[in-house]
Structures are given as structure tokens and as C-alpha cells.
Amino acid sequence: MPPDVQDDPALAAEVDRLLARRTREISLRGEIERLFRARVWSQTAKIIRAWMIWVAFLDVLTLALNAALLPWGVAQSMLLPGAIIPPVALAVVLAWRKPQAPWLQGASLIAGMFLILLSVALVGASAGGEFYERQLNVMLFVAITAIIIFGIPLAWTMTIAALALGLYLMLQLQNPAIAHGSAVAGTLFFASGIFATVAARRIMTILAQKTFLFELRDRRRVAELAKANDRLVLLARTDPLTGISNRRWMTETLERLWGSDKRCLAGAAMLMCDIDNFKKLNDHLGHAEGDRCLVKVATILKENVRRDRDHVARYGGEEFLVLLPGVNEEEAAAVAERMRKSVEAAALPNPGSRVSRWVTLSIGVAVQTSEAISPEQLQQRADAALYLAKQTGRNRVLLHRPELSARKHIRPGSLGA
């Protein structure tokens, strides 16, 4: 298949320019011509190889029938010129087994066709009599079939047509059974038919090229649409400020990981993270500084998780949700503590904070071990632990315990500022 045209703006522009022209004016040049040849080479090569094999087979069959049905003297005169075709056809088949330089394959095809046409004509010239005229007509028929079915460049087609007509005229001028004027008239008659066939072949080639151009344009448009869809999906699942996942994507991830029954994920931890006194940071330093703080904290959280397994999302405002599959309580608490220390060590200013002059983080941790619970329940437990961490001084990590949910002053889902 041809490469993606959208990767080459100049190529895409050339495709559009060619398609804007009338069909008969389409002419491929440069890179597009190379791509078209590469696109059709396999089919063209198969046709040429099959044609050569059939011509060789029919030649051998015809020589055998001639030997059986004709007087031996006539049949013997046909053997030597007729024997040229099989090795020539085999040589062309070998030359067209794999792609090579265009000039080389063109030369091999034209030389092979010349020798095949010459062989057919010489069979008649050697036998003489009624076979002379008949074999010349057969030669023209062979040339016409090749012109019709070979999807080759127009210059190659014209060369084959000129060779066929040239051989016909030369041998007819040497035909003792007809006058020179009749030879020329016959050549002109057949020339009109052959060049009409060449014109038809040209139209077929142009239509194939136009189809190829449509294919290039459609592939480019499909690729552009796919990229646009990917961008929309990314925008729908990414927080535009921090560049990490948003709440919607995290919800979809939780549903996917837990499965349809929402109770099948064993060994997972959920971390609810909240920036302490974030409102005061905005009040004292402005929302631009607050946005920079959110971006930095999101980066720190991502740096402290496993890239291939863990998930980090901005859950809303200054809240972040972290999912750690396949960890126990000790491992989850260690990750949370590493996050908290990293945020504090970043020394992001928060002059209005009642905890520290720097930005700090409170984290609630809930771990699902042997008990199968839903992601909503696990989140509520992490939320409850976070709430207690903020109520008991902030800038700390608190692991959820069963008794936390029973405390009346803890309201899961309600976070301090």
C-alpha cells in the first residue's frame, strides 16, 4: 500500500491538483508516478508472466500440431524460428519475478516482445505461401493482446505497437505475393486499429491512475479524521490544565478494571489527595500561580507511580485520585508518603497556609485486600481517611481503618479546603 499522503503536504497538494483536472489531462510525474508503479507492479507483473507462459505454451502446441499435420518440409522450416519464443518468454518471466529498475524491466519486456513478434513473423516467412500472410496477421494479433492487457507506461506500449507495425511493413514489402502499394495500404489499415487499441489502453491507464489518486486522497482524509477523533477522545479524557487524566477517564478505568460485577479486582489501593489550604494560595498569589501549583503537583504524583500499571487523575479542583493495582497496605502507604514528601520538598510557595509556608498535601489511603468491594466503596473509604487527615492537622497520610467510617463527624465525600 502507498504511504500516508498526509505526511507529505506537497504530495497531498499534487494529488488534489491532479484530481481537479479533467480525466484525460491526468498525467502522473515524479513521486506520485513512482508510487503508482509500485502500487500496480504486482498485478502487472502477474499478467505479463501469465501472458508469456501462455504464449510459450501455445507456440509449442502449434509447432507440435504443425509437425503432425503439415508436410515435414513445411513443418521443419517453422521449427527454428518458432523455437525462439519459449526461452525468450522464460527470460521475461524471470525478469518480472521481482521489482527492478523501471528502465531494466521496460527494456526486458520490449526486447522480449520484439523477439516474440519476430519469431511469429519469421515462422510464416520461412514457410511461405499461405502461411506468410497468416503469420503476419497472427503477429499483429499477439501484439494487440499484449497492448490491451499490459498495464505498462504509454511509451512502452507505443514502442511495442511501432515494432509490430514495422515488422509487418518490412516483411510485407518482401512478400512476393503482393505489390508494395498493397503492403503499405495494409500496414496503414492495421495501424489505425492498433493505435485505436493504444488509445483505449491509455484511457484504461488514466482511469486506473485516477482511481489511485482517489485512494490516496481518501486515505489521507480517513487518516485526518482518525487523528481528529483521537484528539477529541484525548480532550474528553484529559484534564486541559494539568495534562493528566480527568475524572471521567478515571471513572471509566475503574469500571473497566473492576469488571461488570464491580467486585472482582483484588489487591488495589486508592489514594485521595488534596492540596492543603489551596484557596488561600489563590487568594494570596492569584489564580495563575494556583494553576502552576496544580500542574506541578500533578507532575509530582505521576513521577511517583508505576507508569505501566498505576493511574493518576485530577478529580476536581485541587483533588487528585490515584489508583494502585496489586499493592498491599504497606506499599500503598509508602507510595502516598513519598508523594507527600515530594510535594513538600518542591517548595512551592503558599504564604497563606496555616500548615506551612510551602504547599503541602493530605492523602487518604484505602486498600482492598481480601474483602471484595466496589470502586465506589473503596473511594468512599479513601475519602473518609482524607477527611480525617485534614481534620487532624493536614500534611499527612492516613490509612483507612474500619472504625473511621463509624465516626459521626466524618462525612465521606466532604473535604476541607
| Coil/strand/helix, residue 275 | strand
Q: Which residues of 252-285 are buried (b: 16+ CB within 10 A; e: fewer)?
A: ebbeeebeeebeebeebbbbbbbbbbbebbbeeb
Helices 30-69 & 85-95 angle (0-180, nearest 10)? 160
Query: Greatest CA span in the chain, whole angstroms?
Result: 122
Give catalytic residue positions.
318
Between strands 361-368 and 397-399, the pairing is: parallel
DSSP for 113-169, written as a single string: HHHHHHHHHHHHHHH-THHHHHHHHHHHHHHHHHHHH----HHHHHHHHHHHHHHHH
Burial class from Cβ neighbours inside 10 Å (0-12, 13-18, 19+) for residue 92 reads: buried
Residue that has been written with the C-alpha cell 518458432 in this structure: 82
What are 405's three cell numbers? Answer: 467510617
Using an 8 Å Cβ cutoff, are 346 and 359 in contact? yes
Phi-psi group of 262: left, alpha or beta (phi > 0 → left; psi -120 to 50 → alpha; rest → beta): left
Closest Cα partner for 279 from 271, 264, 266, 289? 289
What are 119's three cell numbers? Answer: 519469431
